[in-house]
Structure 1
Amino acid sequence: MRLLRSSAVVGGFTLLSRFFGVARDILLAARLGAGPLTDAFFVALTFPNLFRRIFAEGAFNSAFIPLYARRLEGEGAEEADRFASEVLSVLTLSVMALVVLAQIFMPWLMYLLGPGFISDPGLFGFAVLMTQITMPYLLCMSMAAMISGALNTHARFATAAAAPILLNVVLISTLLAAPGSREDLALWLSAGVTLSGVLQTAWLYWASRRAGIKLTFQAPRLTSGVKRLIVLGVPGAAAAGVTHINQLVSGSIATLQEGARSWIYYAERLYQLPLGVIGIAMGVALLPALSKRLRAGDDAGAMGGQNRAIEISMALTLPAAAALLVIPDAVVAGLFQRGAFEESDTARTALALAIYAAGLPAFVLIKVFSPGFFAREDTLTPMKFAAASMAVNMIVGVVLFFGPLGYAGLALATTLAGWVNAVLLGFTLIRRRQFMPDARLTQRLPRIILACLVMMGALWALVELAEAPILAAINAWLPTPLIALVWMGLLVLYGLLVFGVSTLALGGLRPQELLGALKRAPAPSIEDQTKDGTGA
């Protein structure tokens, strides 16, 4: 199945990038830990990360790809390149103006981004400076996102998916090489963010030229195509970026509790590993596939592809969410508890991680359901649902943060908002008859859920009954700094083994289908797979 192969390409490079990201965060935790300075650095990453995720992880491309693909297939490569060049010119000028304004008004914007820093003028000013240093990354990411969308439309998924690895390579190199105090390190890291943006943009532009995509800068003009992109893109950006906008709101409120911004950041990084590998990869690959099938009048093929996307994404997401619900402490301790990151930080980060894990399936379903709207050039409906979920996140987050839960209430609000958004998207597609669960999905999904429950029980039993003797045995063979990491690895492998055996025994997955879909030999079409039920 072409969708699975495309998703595997995107997911594979995204997984590699996220592993580099985990290595980066391990070094960050060891050198910066969790506290006011670290909170300020993470706030400085808020704007760049928000725009990177909105642009690079699907929101911008949700509007650009259908329009670009229509010209590519209907009017030819030359017209498609002309449209892309018009968009690139307008986008570059617009975002450059945004960057300049943000640089000028950052001392005032910081009152919204980091209200908890207001009482400490030194920390407040340092957060402003770091954010100003990272702001040019916005411009780089907007350009990189548009070029990535063009490459994805030409089925060149690997290049665009690999580009974010450069960010982590630059920051890891900085963490390993930068001398001096923690304040100096934070400034070097801020500069590294912007440098990585320049490298990513240059890499993608070079790749687009090699792919035969001819992009040029020209005098910006609001042509009919650009106007249509704006009409679709603004609500699309709000809709597809809602999870990240909710994180922006939560992160801002979290600065009011010392250390909370850091705990939430580390928890977000862990649950976003499966989100990035599965949900974003599936969404990136699914949108061009749905757009092409719908333009060809193949509604049945589009529906079959979305069914398989849900089946595959849930088969990979649900066990990850289940494991993070049961063993969050072991995961956080194994990865982060060393150096400046203390045991108390582990406990607080683990609580946020478990809460986010409960929302992980919803965050992935948003990525899978949204292309069903975007491929039909309907970005307004997802935007309305995004607004509803943002309202839930804001109201519930504020109530719980200033109530009994503190920072954990922010994580819970984000999780609830994710489920509100996912349910609204799914029910609307079903009501419009643009998506209907097929027999295979309704048979497989309960079996996958049951296999997850078996895995959760097995992990709980191992931790409760055998943790002490196993840790004692590990301690006899390994140095202390490696004990938590090895224990986490054993739990993950054990959980994978139990889930794999359970889901195969229950019929939730069939390995021959997955292997057949990943082969490079000609694969059956989505229509054929939908008819005979043999696709992956």
Structure 2
Amino acid sequence: MSNLVRNVGTIGSLTALSRVFGFVRDMLLARVLGAGLAADAWQLAFTLPNTFRRLFAEGAFSVAFVPMYTRRLHRSEEDGGGEAGADAFAGDVLSVFVWVLLGFSAICMIAMPWIVWLLAREYQDVPGKFELSVLLSRMTFPYLGLVSLVAMLSGLLNARSRFAPGAFVPVFLNLVMIAGIGIGWYLRGADGSDTVVAWALAISLTVSGMVQLAFMWWAARRAGVRLKITAPRFTPEVKRLGMLILPATFGAGIYQISQLVDTFFATSLPQGSLTLLKLADRLNQMPLGIFGIALGTAILPMLARHIQSGDKREAQRLQGNAVEVGTLLTLPAAVALGICAPAFVTAFFVGGKMTPESGAIMADIVLALVCGLPAYVLVKVFQPAFFSREDTRTPVFVAAGALAVNVALNFYVVPRYGIVGLAAATAITATLNVLTLYTILQARGWFHFTARLAGRIARQLVATAAMGAFLWWLMPLMADRYGGNVIERVWSLGVLVLGGMAVFFAIAFAVGALDKDLVAQVTRRRAAKPVDLAE
């Protein structure tokens, strides 16, 4: 477990740094653009390449490519493995991947008016909104190709247990975009058009992709990875990778596909709804991005090695440890975010062009989204159990069923409950997805909850309930401070966060929700024996 905890800690801490800068970016964006025409157009333009990035590059491609590259890397040189053999395989993939990315990006940029029409046809009812959305989407779409190559290089380094560069590289995205917001705000002036800011953001996104690719290429060379781009060659392994990617595109991307579905429904609601949904999701993405991505990234290559060696006990232990860490981090985060959503939204986002009325709606969206936070993270733990066995078909059927439920729910709740109902449907879908995945894993004997693991989670729930009661009591006492000056906002949120953490960890220690060996490994105070949750 020590390797898992150490890797999760490395990825999580660097991802947290990126999320902090991303949070600063969205705070500035909310104040500069608010929730109006230009903000909605920008959110759509930003959503398109990022959804495809998470769906294809960080989702389907990574879960199919990383296990194959890992096996090649740890195979003997006589069998075509080792670093040279693995890099040769990666070079063959890259030589094909580059042309696929170029072709796909070109087709999408040409077809952008139809893509925007499919997702946001109601934008045509607002003068200039549809045209601006198409223009901005064309300006941002080259980012997809750049960041997809970044994801491939990150996968290569992850397979070599070098997780830091891939976890750090999103910092460049947020830094460049913060600069873009600043430049756009300066060029707009006091009475200028918000379109100027949106243009600056679109340009900065593509520039950030160039910066990220340069950094990851340097990091890969520094790690000894040697890739050569040659004429495309469809070797047997490249063909096999392609066959695995196709179903994994759907199986690994239920959350991203749901994002496109949510975007479609959000654009049919009053102006500003899409912006409020995306900004609310930023609060939800803080723990999800830190814990979920860190766990999923760390567990996949490790699980692939255990399964390749036939060590079922270690595979069970690894997944059990990942579930315990995931629930330990997300259960209190979900409850704290749900209860304190009005405080966080008011302190971080309300101001400038973002009105208190919009902030109140955003807080309700946050509450609905975080109901599915544990499920979002556990999906990242359960899916690698299939992908590491090269089973990408099962998650396809599970994802198809969950997505069908999501669409049906949206048709029912969106007309009745608006944007908040849409967010709740997303949380319900994610929960259904993770429960179905676990049921299949248990039926196949690939993973099961042990009495020890269930008992640990039950104790975590007790500590989470105590923390929730404390925050529920504390929240109204500082209601006037959340929207005050900077010192008041920081002070009041600090009391909430530190007070909630103190209560949670005190009760967690008292009831045994925290494993002492796990705490020792996280704090690195002493060497700890592996925790066996397979018993």
Q: Please report the TM-score for the alignment, with normalisation by the length of structure 2.
A: 0.94
Q: Report whether the alignment pairs 1:396 with 2:409.
A: yes
Q: 1:529 aligns with which of 525, 531, 535?
A: 531
Q: Report the CA distance between 1:81 and its aligned residue.
A: 0.7
- 1:456-502 Cα shifts (integer Å, max 9, x gaps): 111111224x335xx4xx69xx9635434432232122111111111
Q: Report whether the alignment pairs 1:156 with 2:156.
A: no
Amino acid at match of 2:344: V
Q: 1:127 aligns with which of 125, 133, 137?
A: 133
Amino acid at match of 1:50: T
Q: 1:421 aligns with which of 433, 436, 442?
A: 433
Aligned mates of 2:390, 2:534 — CA distance in 1 = 30
Q: Which moved more, 1:483-492 or 1:229-238?
A: 483-492
Amino acid at match of 2:29: L
Aligned mates of 1:510, 1:290 — CA distance in 2 = 22
Q: Report the CA distance between 1:126 and its aligned residue.
A: 0.7
- Decide whether the 8 Å contact of 2:316 with 2:447 is kept in 1: yes
Counterpart of 1:408? Answer: 420
Q: Report the CA distance between 1:51 and its aligned residue.
A: 2.4
Aligned mates of 1:94, 1:9 — CA distance in 2 = 32
Q: Report the CA distance between 1:450 and its aligned residue.
A: 1.0
Aligned residues: 522
Q: 2:312 aligns with which of 299, 305, 308?
A: 299
Q: 2:297 aligns with which of 265, 275, 284?
A: 284
Distance change (3 Å), C-alpha of 1:152 and 1:410: same
Aligned mates of 1:120, 1:229 — CA distance in 2 = 44
Q: Report whether the alignment pairs 1:519 with 2:524.
A: yes
Amino acid at match of 1:529: V
Aligned counterparts, 1:249-328, within 5 A: 249-257=261-269, 258-328=271-341
Q: Report the CA distance between 1:199 and its aligned residue.
A: 1.0
- Decide whether the 8 Å contact of 2:307 with 2:315 is kept in 1: yes
Counterpart of 1:248? Answer: 260
- 1:102-150 Cα shifts (integer Å, max 9, x gaps): 1111111111122221113411111100000000011012111111111
Q: Report the CA distance between 1:201 and its aligned residue.
A: 1.1
Counterpart of 1:383? Answer: 396
Counterpart of 1:28? Answer: 29
Counterpart of 1:71? Answer: 72
Q: Report whether the alignment pairs 1:110 with 2:110.
A: no
- Decide whether the 8 Å contact of 1:65 with 1:150 is kept in 2: yes
Q: Report whether the alignment pairs 1:98 with 2:107.
A: no
Counterpart of 1:369? Answer: 382
Distance change (3 Å), C-alpha of 1:217 and 1:381: same
- Decide whether the 8 Å contact of 2:368 with 2:423 is kept in 1: yes
- 1:399-419 Cα shifts (integer Å, max 9, x gaps): 2112x1011121111111101
Counterpart of 1:18? Answer: 19
Counterpart of 1:467? Answer: 478
Amino acid at match of 1:460: W
Q: 1:174 aligns with which of 165, 172, 180?
A: 180
Distance change (3 Å), C-alpha of 1:531 and 1:245: closer
Aligned mates of 2:226, 2:358 — CA distance in 1 = 50
Aligned mates of 2:20, 2:244 — CA distance in 1 = 34
Q: Which moved more, 1:354-363 or 1:504-513?
A: 504-513
- Decide whether the 8 Å contact of 1:333 with 1:485 is kept in 2: no
Counterpart of 1:359? Answer: 372
Unaligned runs of 5+ in 1: none
- 1:319-338 Cα shifts (integer Å, max 9, x gaps): 00011121211111111011
Aligned mates of 1:24, 1:316 — CA distance in 2 = 24
Aligned mates of 2:219, 2:474 — CA distance in 1 = 48
Counterpart of 1:44? Answer: 45
Q: Report whether the alignment pairs 1:456 with 2:462.
A: no
Aligned mates of 2:250, 2:468 — CA distance in 1 = 35
Aligned counterparts, 1:173-192, within 5 A: 173-178=179-184, 179=186, 180=188, 181-192=193-204
Q: Report the CA distance between 1:376 and its aligned residue.
A: 0.6
Amino acid at match of 1:39: D
The alignment-based identity, stated in percent, is 39
Unaligned runs of 5+ in 2: 76-80
Counterpart of 1:211? Answer: 223
- 1:79-108 Cα shifts (integer Å, max 9, x gaps): 111110111111110111011111111111
Amino acid at match of 1:515: A
Q: 1:140 aligns with which of 146, 151, 158?
A: 146
- Decide whether the 8 Å contact of 1:447 with 1:508 is kept in 2: yes
Q: Report the CA distance between 1:381 and its aligned residue.
A: 0.5
- Decide whether the 8 Å contact of 1:286 with 1:371 is kept in 2: yes
Counterpart of 1:441? Answer: 453
Distance change (3 Å), C-alpha of 1:9 and 1:55: farther
Q: Report the CA distance between 1:520 and its aligned residue.
A: 9.2
- Decide whether the 8 Å contact of 1:254 with 1:260 is kept in 2: yes
Q: Report whether the alignment pairs 1:488 with 2:493.
A: yes
Q: Which moved more, 1:485-494 or 1:26-35?
A: 485-494
Counterpart of 1:504? Answer: 509
Aligned mates of 2:291, 2:497 — CA distance in 1 = 18
- Decide whether the 8 Å contact of 1:2 with 1:523 is kept in 2: no
Counterpart of 2:60? Answer: 59
- 1:356-399 Cα shifts (integer Å, max 9, x gaps): 01000111111111111111111110111111111111111122
- Decide whether the 8 Å contact of 1:4 with 1:518 is kept in 2: no
- Decide whether the 8 Å contact of 1:235 with 1:383 is kept in 2: yes
Q: Report the CA distance between 1:531 and its aligned residue.
A: 7.6
Aligned counterparts, 1:340-355, within 5 A: 340-355=353-368
- Decide whether the 8 Å contact of 1:335 with 1:485 is kept in 2: no
Counterpart of 2:209? Answer: 197
Q: Report the CA distance between 1:54 and its aligned residue.
A: 2.6
Q: Which moved more, 1:415-424 or 1:118-127?
A: 118-127
3-state DSSP class of the match of 2:117?
helix
Q: Report the CA distance between 1:440 and its aligned residue.
A: 2.5
- Decide whether the 8 Å contact of 2:518 with 2:531 is kept in 1: no
- Decide whether the 8 Å contact of 2:402 with 2:429 is kept in 1: yes
Q: Report the CA distance between 1:55 and its aligned residue.
A: 4.5
- Decide whether the 8 Å contact of 1:92 with 1:142 is kept in 2: no
The alignment's C-alpha RMSD in Å is: 1.8
3-state DSSP class of the match of 1:45?
helix
- Decide whether the 8 Å contact of 2:520 with 2:527 is kept in 1: no
Amino acid at match of 1:232: L
Q: Which moved more, 1:286-295 or 1:483-492?
A: 483-492
3-state DSSP class of the match of 1:406?
helix
3-state DSSP class of the match of 2:305?
helix
